[in-house]
């Protein structure tokens, strides 16, 4: 519970029983991901119910992310796997044809409308690359940059090309309705191109669920400020991002996204291939351990396990090792120094920013054991987490959905409990909760922030130092 950086784990065939889900939560998972690219609604409903049962058993909020599939762009059919050679001319056509060594179907008119000479088409996770030389209404002429084998229905990527299509498919709409009906806490949006895509999903779901924008296209990196501002959280989705960007650019872009989201006060997740070798091995490579550590040092709110827990042979061990890496980094002597060096003031600070900054300062002057925020919407905790204080953040909310959402946020120990009725009751409830969770020490101060009158969202105006 006292880790700052949270663990987000994907559920799948290797981790779907109630016993497995409870075991993963006990090992350190704070929030679970349901990937709508795989499995039926009935499969995911059973997993979600098992998460809620684990939450009851552990008496702590557990968050649920429903990850929307997004549009899948694929080439047409081939009678058999067909090699294409580097340097050859190759055509993509809108008409339905049998693919061969000279041409293939690209059944997406939006691509023909958006592609320009000089753009690139990447096929099969970037294993093949084509340089666009000429575009006609129903034909794209390219030169093969990187050859290989083409076969039916392989996916393709268009780096730096913004397609004039909605990234919310009909399947996504149905999956979003499922997520809302089942009480999911977050919706993750795939293949976001611009802030307009986030606004489209917001118009559908409103504030009933948090929106996580997955940054996996260069165009999304270019429009990061707008996307992050319109989202409730952001994910560095390094799978497709690593296909569309050169490998050497991905670490730089990851750092840029994490730092910008921290500056804006948006929770940020680093995802994909973090402990990839643990799909088939009981221990990670040293490079993978360093990758997780880097995300922790950068101040990411959460790190994510994908196939490691969904389909791997060692899902529990992956969570345990990720937990150990995070704890080791956060106990290192230079960790707090790195958090302090990366501190930046909000562009347009308000009174909640000011109070949160005061909490951070108080925690450096006094032996504060915990910073406590009474919050209805969760925003007070997010403001406080943005400061990266040296204490745990106890977020007390009368809204269970808020407490579950806060399970994603850096440093927050979420607690579902009644709001304070007055100042005296605030101190009583703080002392009870902090003592119950092992966050209080006799004779050492706790810092409390809240809004008066109590229960009014966005009214944070009080800081109080108390001694249990």
Positions marked catalytic: 33, 74, 214, 272
Please check whether residue 328 is in contact with residue 358, taking contact to mean a CB–CB distance below 8 angstroms.
no
Return d(Cα 367, Cα 420) in angstroms, integer: 25
Number of helical (H) and strand (E) elements in the chain, helices listed first? 17, 21
The half-sphere exposure of 96 on its side-chain side, counting CA atoms within 13 A, is 2
Please check whether residue 167 is in contact with residue 195, taking contact to mean a CB–CB distance below 8 angstroms.
no
Which residue in the block uniquely carries the two structure tokens 């992310």?
65
Task: Identify the CA nearest to 147 among candidates 224, 90, 201, 202.
Answer: 90
| Strand 139-146 to 89-93 pairing | antiparallel
Return d(Cα 250, Cα 221) in angstroms, integer: 11
Return d(Cα 281, Cα 279) in angstroms, integer: 6
Cα torsion 238, 193, 30, 325 to 10°: value is 20
Task: Identify the CA nearest to 240 among candidates 142, 151, 147, 306.
Answer: 306
What 3-state class would DSSP assign to 431? helix
Dihedral pair phi/psi, residue 39, rounded to 5°: 85, 160
Which residue in the block uniquely carries the two structure tokens 């083409």?
150
Return d(Cα 232, Cα 186) in angstroms, integer: 9
**Runs of H (alpha helix) within 183-272:** 195-205, 218-222, 224-230, 238-244, 250-264
Q: Could you tell me what percentage of the chain is helix, strand and coil, using 3-state DSSP and rounding each to the nearest 5? A: 40, 20, 40
Please check whether residue 417 is in contact with residue 396, taking contact to mean a CB–CB distance below 8 angstroms.
yes
Burial tier of 358 (Cβ tally within 10 Å: 0-12, 13-18, 19+): middle
- Spatial strand order in the sheet of 139-146: 103-105, 89-93, 139-146, 128-136, 120-123, 156-157
Return d(Cα 341, Cα 319) in angstroms, integer: 29
């Amino acid at each position: 519970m006292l880790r700052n950086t949270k663990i987000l784990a994907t559920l799948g065939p290797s981790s779907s029983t109630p016993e497995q889900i409870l075991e993963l939560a006990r090992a350190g998972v704070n929030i679970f991901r349901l990937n709508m690219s795989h499995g039926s609604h009935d499969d995911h409903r059973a997993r979600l119910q098992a998460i809620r049962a684990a939450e009851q058993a552990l008496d702590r909020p557990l968050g649920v992310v429903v990850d929307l599939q997004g549009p899948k762009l694929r080439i047409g059919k081939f009678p058999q796997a067909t090699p294409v050679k580097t340097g050859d001319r190759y055509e993509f056509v809108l008409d339905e044809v049998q693919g061969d060594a000279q041409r293939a179907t690209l059944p997406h008119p939006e691509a023909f409308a958006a592609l320009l000479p000089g753009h690139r088409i990447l096929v099969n996770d970037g294993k093949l690359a084509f340089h666009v030389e000429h575009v006609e209404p129903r034909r794209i002429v390219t030169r093969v940059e990187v050859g290989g084998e083409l076969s039916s229905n392989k996916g393709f990527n268009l780096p730096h090309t913004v397609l004039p299509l909605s990234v919310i498919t009909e399947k996504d709409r149905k999956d979003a309705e499922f997520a809302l009906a089942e009480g999911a806490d977050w919706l993750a949006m795939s293949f976001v191109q611009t802030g307009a895509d986030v606004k489209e999903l917001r118009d559908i779901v409103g504030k009933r669920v948090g929106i996580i924008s997955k940054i996996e296209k260069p165009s999304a990196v270019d429009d990061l400020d707008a996307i992050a501002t319109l989202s409730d959280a952001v994910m560095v989705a390094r799978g497709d991002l690593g296909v569309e960007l050169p490998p050497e650019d991905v670490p730089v872009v990851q750092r840029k996204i994490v730092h910008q989201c921290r500056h804006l006060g948006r929770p940020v997740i680093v995802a994909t291939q973090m402990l990839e070798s643990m799909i088939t091995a009981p221990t990670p490579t040293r490079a993978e351990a360093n990758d997780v550590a880097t995300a922790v040092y950068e101040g990411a709110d959460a790190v994510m396990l994908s196939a490691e827990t969904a389909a791997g042979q060692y899902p529990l061990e992956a969570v345990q090792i990720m937990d150990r890496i995070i704890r080791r980094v956060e106990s290192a002597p230079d960790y707090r120094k790195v958090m302090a060096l990366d501190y930046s003031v909000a562009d347009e600070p308000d009174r909640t920013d000011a109070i949160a900054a005061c909490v951070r300062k108080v925690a450096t002057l006094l032996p504060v054991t915990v910073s406590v925020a009474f919050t209805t919407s969760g925003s007070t905790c997010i403001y406080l987490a943005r400061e990266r204080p040296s204490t745990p953040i106890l977020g007390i909310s009368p809204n269970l959905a808020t407490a579950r959402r806060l399970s994603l946020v850096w440093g927050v120990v979420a607690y579902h409990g009644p709001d304070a009725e007055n100042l005296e009751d605030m101190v009583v409830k703080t002392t009870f909760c902090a003592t119950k969770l092992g966050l209080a020490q006799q004779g050492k101060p706790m810092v409390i922030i809240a809004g008066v009158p109590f229960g009014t969202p966005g009214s944070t105006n009080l800081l109080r130092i108390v001694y249990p």
